[in-house]
Amino acid sequence: MTSRTSSYLSDRLNSLSIELDSFPISDKALKNGGNISKSLSLLVKDHSLQTATKALNNINVEKGESELEWLLLARVTLVLYDNIVASLLNHAVELNSLSNFWERTLESRFKSYNYLLQTLPNRAFNYAKNSHPSIHSLFPYSQVGLSLNLRTLTFEPLNLLKFELQSHIDEIGILKDDIANSVGLLASFNGLKDGFGPDNKGNTGRSLGGDLNNWIKHIKSVLNTLTKDDQVKVNEATSFRAILDNLKTLVENVIPSHTASITRRVEVHKRPSTLTRCWPKLLIGPPVLLVIARLVLRSQDAVKAYLRDIGETARGFVQSWIVEPATHIINTIRFGGRGLGVTEAGLESDIASLERMVKDLGKENLKLSDAQLLELGNNVRKGDLSTVLQVYENEMKTPFKSALFGQLVRALLIQIQKVKCDVDTTMTKLDALLKSQELTFGFVGVAPSLAIVYFVGSWFSRFLGLIVGKKEISLKRRVELFECIRRIDILLVPSLGSPLPEKTLGHLLLSTSIMRRCSLEIYNKRLRRGLVDDLNALEVPQGDVMDKRAIVERMWRSWGGALDWNKAVSNAR
């Protein structure tokens, strides 16, 4: 029929509608039922009460009845059933939102005083127009017998306000219980399971008129239970005229009366109007804006300088902490790192010079052969200067004589060259290390600025997403999902029998309906489809309690992390 109700009820009503399409209709009825066929076609496309009313008014009883007329009555019955369930679920969703509003107001001292300030003109007006003013004129839900005096208004306004807010919450809870009981009665109706006409075994003892009469009586009974009104009676007969009159009674009297009664009960607990909530801001806002405008005009130069500093700071941040480090990283990737500027050629020339100096010393002073000089050169390249050190040790025995006439100065110069080669070797290795880690240093340097840009960009993208209407589940919706699944977990007490009691089933369907609407904000389609599948499994009235508890446990495991329920609850505190 429609997707406005819970999935189970929607699927079951769709199945019954398809079953009605398979009912046998004679050729004579098809030939003479032009208006009825149009009404049936309209009901398939439009499931509103207005269309159902027009369809009933198109039936001409004087022409007699046919299979098409009976089929139209059955389809109108399904439309009425669907609209009633959808209306109850819509009211339940609205009541849940109102309950959250009053609870948040009650829990916050600031919000409580703000609400008292917002509603103060209305309270004063009610007090002034009352011929016998009392504390109830200011606080309609205040305790009976409380006297109106200065002490009460001075020391107990918050207590009176808390009592008023708690009364809203309690009465909304009572109304939600009534709606849940009605939804549970509608969902557990045997007619949904049995359908119309002959049963699954082919028994034709049940008539379509009798089935429709049972549906009508059940609908009226549920609505009477909810509105406590039993003035309208239903004809017990199963004839075509009686069923038609009963449906007209439902459409014209029972359903409008029920809708008006529920709407009145909901209106009492609605949040204050937009004007009531905004009048303090409208009153205080213009003077504050005027003062700010005057201050800005008086200090234009300072404001301009401040804005100029902000612009230069932002420009300097982007240029010095993002553009230049990023450019350096790109150049490092393309051309390699700069390192310390030490070259392999310079190191090789220093080592060659040291080798020549040692060979000359060995050739002139130690009279080494060519083979020994070659071996000495190889030792020098390995860092072994034991030959030079032996010469140095011998010369140090007579330092003054060796300094003037010996090889002491020459040995010292060779060691200085050795130190220079060791330093160049160390610098070369350090240069290679720096070149290999230059990208790491570059990314470490640019990381803080990239983090700042990321957080600012994320905030801006979320803000832009709110403007363009991007569907990203909000913190509020995640908290609602958490509260609903927790409520369902509490409802499914293992000691309950199967099937669930009507009131418990109704509360379960109300919670799943709220979760289904919240799931529309989940951007990931696969994630949303998985959550909806679990909700569909929970809504089946005939399901075993333990099976439903297993589904709830799976939902805790599957969606608690995916939807960040724990994080949402901690942030909402």
Instruction: State the pLDDT confidence band at 145, using cuts at 50, 70 and 90.
Output: very low
Report residue 510 as tokens.
């109300």
Instruction: State the pLDDT confidence band at 377, using cuts at 50, 70 and 90.
Output: confident
More confident residue, 517 or 439: 517
Where is average pLDDT lowest: 142-146, 170-174, 360-364, 476-480? 142-146
Condensed to tens digits (0 to 9), the pLDDT of residues 17-47 reads 777 777 766 656 565 566 777 777 777 777 7
Cα dihedral 557, 562, 567, 571 sign: negative
Report pLDDT for 348: 76
Q: How confident is the prediction for the chain on average, in pLDDT?
A: 78
Report pLDDT for 176: 93
Report pLDDT for 29: 59
Instruction: State the pLDDT confidence band at 94, using cuts at 50, 70 and 90.
Output: very high
Where is average pLDDT lowest: 139-143, 488-492, 531-535, 537-541? 139-143
Residues recorded for the chain: 573
DSSP 388-439: HHHHHHHHTTSHHHHHHHSSHHHHHHHHHHHHHHHHHHHHHHHHHHHHHHHH
The Cα–Cα gap between 227 and 219 comes to: 12
Report pLDDT for 150: 46
Instruction: State the pLDDT confidence band at 202, using cuts at 50, 70 and 90.
Output: very low
Report pLDDT for 469: 45
- DSSP H or E run through 174: helix 157-187
Assess whether pLDDT exceeds 50 at residue 288: yes
**Which residue do the tokens 């009465």 mark?**
171
Assess whether pLDDT exceeds 50 at residue 339: yes
Instruction: State the pLDDT confidence band at 200, using cuts at 50, 70 and 90.
Output: very low
In the chain, the amino acid numbered 364 is E
Domain ranges of the chain: 8-269, 282-336, 344-464, 475-572
Q: What is the mean pLDDT of residues 117-129?
A: 85
What are the b/e assignments for 264-285, b being 16+ CB within 10 Å?
Answer: ebbeebeeeeeeeeebeeeeee
DSSP annotation of 321 reads: I
Instruction: State the pLDDT confidence band at 204, using cuts at 50, 70 and 90.
Output: very low
More confident residue, 470 or 425: 425
CA dist list (Å): 64 to 61, 437, 519: 5, 95, 49
Cα dihedral 342, 345, 346, 352 sign: positive
Question: For helices 67-107 and 34-45, what crossing angle results, to 10°?
Answer: 20
CB 513 within 8 Å of CB 92? yes
Report pLDDT for 203: 37
CB 515 within 8 Å of CB 535? yes
